[in-house]
Copies of this chain bind each other. A is one copy, B any other.
Amino acid sequence: MYSHKLLKPDGRKLKLYSRYPITSQLEAPSPSNEPVQANPHLRWHPLRGEWVAYASHRQGRTFMPPPEYNPLAPTTNPDFPTELPQGKYDVAVFDNRFPSLIPTANNPPDTIVETLPANGACEVVVFTQDARATLSSLELEHLDLLLEVWGDRTRELGLNPQIQYVLPFENKGVEVGVTLHHPHGQIYAYPFIPPVPARMLSMQQEYYEKHHRGLLQDLIQKEIADNQRIIYEDEYAIAFVPVCARYPYEVWIAPKEPVSNFMGLTPEQRWGLAKALKTVTLKYDGLWNRPFPYLMAWFGAPTDGLAHPEAHLHAEFFPPYRTSERLKYLAGTELAAGMFANDALPEEKAKELQAVMVNIEEPISA
């Protein structure tokens, strides 16, 4: 993997990735040359025992681009610079213009609860230069590169001793609030282990200490033996609707053997995950013959400098639909109590996805 670092005129960082060498003639554009003014802070929520991030952005929004303007497409019109230069590269990562966490946050306000600077990072990951692509339409080589990029981001962000946890995710579809359809994801790098990964790690640690094996490793073995909810399987990777799915079309992707983070993947495991990722997203899009919205997040080990043999890298997809016509709204029991009520059995939803035939080797036109 080749990469090339650039600095935007507003001070934000840009890093380009490719399987081929990247020319150093590129200049990093930015939709605005004004430095990002963000200075987010954290407040402690004493009743839930968790941090909340506050970021108020008040930049003068004088920038009025044409309606077809796509800030994630490579810049072609110098009057309306985008986030990305023209040139040969496959994946691009840059600092979010509207970050909830930044490396240089300082002087949090005094409040009646504990506050901290919201030190961390928020990055945008542009999956491809092709505005009409989706993860399902990218070639396996491209997905394999993306998995390696997520590893590079985890490693590089994790070098910052402030950063304890790196979460790559993708929000996809208007149904989950996405207005920018150029294929992209985000990375949040936190100065603490956030509540959900913290809970998962503690459950995994407890299991590991008791059984000297991984919790997810053993669950995967049981899923394979049960053979009811598997969506994809090869020697190295697996995708399945988990027996305990909270969302009707929830799917998890993981290496079969426990690997604590992206950097620990062998090339074979990464290739297996690329195939699983392509299979799942193709099946999603094929289910109702239309783009399928979801939130996808990758959970690995913290970047806290400690060994995490309990951690097992995996992705979880949370799709908002419960049928082709009906959204699953998170309401009282999910948001206020934290108990999910799923009106579909994981076995049934897995059958629907199993029935969608896909060919991951065939190039797809967007």
Chain B residue, CB-CB nearest to A53: B341
Within 8 A of B (CB), among A323-353: 327, 329-333, 335-346, 348
Within 8 A of B (CB), among A191-225: 194-200, 202-204, 207, 215-216, 219, 222-223, 225
Complex-state Cα separation, A196 to B339, whole angstroms? 8
**Which A positions have Cβ atoms within 8 angstroms of B?**
43-57, 98, 100, 111-113, 165, 167, 169-171, 176-177, 186, 188, 190, 194-200, 202-204, 207, 215-216, 219, 222-223, 225-226, 242-246, 295, 297, 299, 316, 318, 327, 329-333, 335-346, 348
Report the minimum CB–CB distance from A210 to chain B (whole Å).
12
Residues from chain B with Cβ under 8 Å of A196 in the complex: 48, 336-338
Chain B residue, CB-CB nearest to A99: B341
Residues from chain B with Cβ under 8 Å of A54 in the complex: 341-346
* Interface residue from B198, B207, B330, B336 paired with A46 (Cβ < 8 Å): B207
The answer to whether A295 and B100 touch across the interface, beta carbons within 8 angstroms, is: no
The 3 closest A-B pairs by CB, nearest first: A177-B329, A297-B336, A195-B338
The answer to whether B329 and A50 touch across the interface, beta carbons within 8 angstroms, is: no
The answer to whether A56 and B345 touch across the interface, beta carbons within 8 angstroms, is: yes
Q: Check A57/B343 contact, CB under 8 A, given A199-B49, A200-B47, A327-B177.
A: yes
The answer to whether B55 and A341 touch across the interface, beta carbons within 8 angstroms, is: yes
Of A246, A337, A344, the most chain B CB neighbours within 10 A belong to A337
Report how many copies the assembly holds. Answer: 2
Residues from chain B with Cβ under 8 Å of A57 in the complex: 343
Complex-state Cα separation, A203 to B50, whole angstroms? 10
The answer to whether A47 and B216 touch across the interface, beta carbons within 8 angstroms, is: yes
The answer to whether A295 and B112 touch across the interface, beta carbons within 8 angstroms, is: no
The answer to whether B47 and A336 touch across the interface, beta carbons within 8 angstroms, is: no
Report the minimum CB–CB distance from A216 to chain B (whole Å).
7
The answer to whether A100 and B333 touch across the interface, beta carbons within 8 angstroms, is: yes
Complex-state Cα separation, A346 to B195, whole angstroms? 22
The answer to whether B49 and A337 touch across the interface, beta carbons within 8 angstroms, is: no
Report the minimum CB–CB distance from A302 to chain B (whole Å).
12
Report the minimum CB–CB distance from A153 to chain B (whole Å).
14
Residues from chain B with Cβ under 8 Å of A194 in the complex: 333, 337-339
Complex-state Cα separation, A316 to B326, whole angstroms? 27
